[in-house]
Amino acid sequence: ASGIGLVLLLAGGSAIVAMQVSGRVSDRLTPRLPSLVGGVGLAIGLLVVAFAPNYPTLVVGGVMIGACNGVMDVAMNALGVDAERASGTAVMSRFHAF
């Protein structure tokens, strides 16, 4: 149980760090790139966790999932803001509901 708790803690911590980095990258470049990279990384992280042969590999997969989820969270919100500005209507609540 403590091993799973550590993986979850590290996943949350890596998400917080990745959110800070992703925000800056999205501002400088475009939010599309971090969103795409985060999605691919999240899929790879899920595969790593699913087929982890040992605990260190599970930890790496958990950190990957957390970091990529954090990147995607910020980047997709930035894309939502761009879409909202382009449409001229309030659509962010619909994006979050979806």
Cα–Cα separations (whole angstroms), residue 94 to 56, 65, 74:
39, 25, 16
DSSP structural state of residue 91: -
Question: If we measure between CA atoms, which residue out of 41, 35, 40 comes closest to residue 14?
Answer: 41
Question: Residue ranges of the domains in the chain?
Answer: 52-98
DSSP structural state of residue 31: T
45 and 61 Cβ atoms separated by less than 8 Å: yes
Half-sphere exposure of 20 (CA within 13 A, CB side): 5
**Spatial distance between the Cα atoms of 51 and 32, rounded to a whole number of angstroms:** 29
Note the pLDDT tens digit of each residue in 39-87: 999 999 999 999 999 999 999 999 999 999 999 999 988 888 888 888 8
How high is the mean pLDDT of the chain? Answer: 90
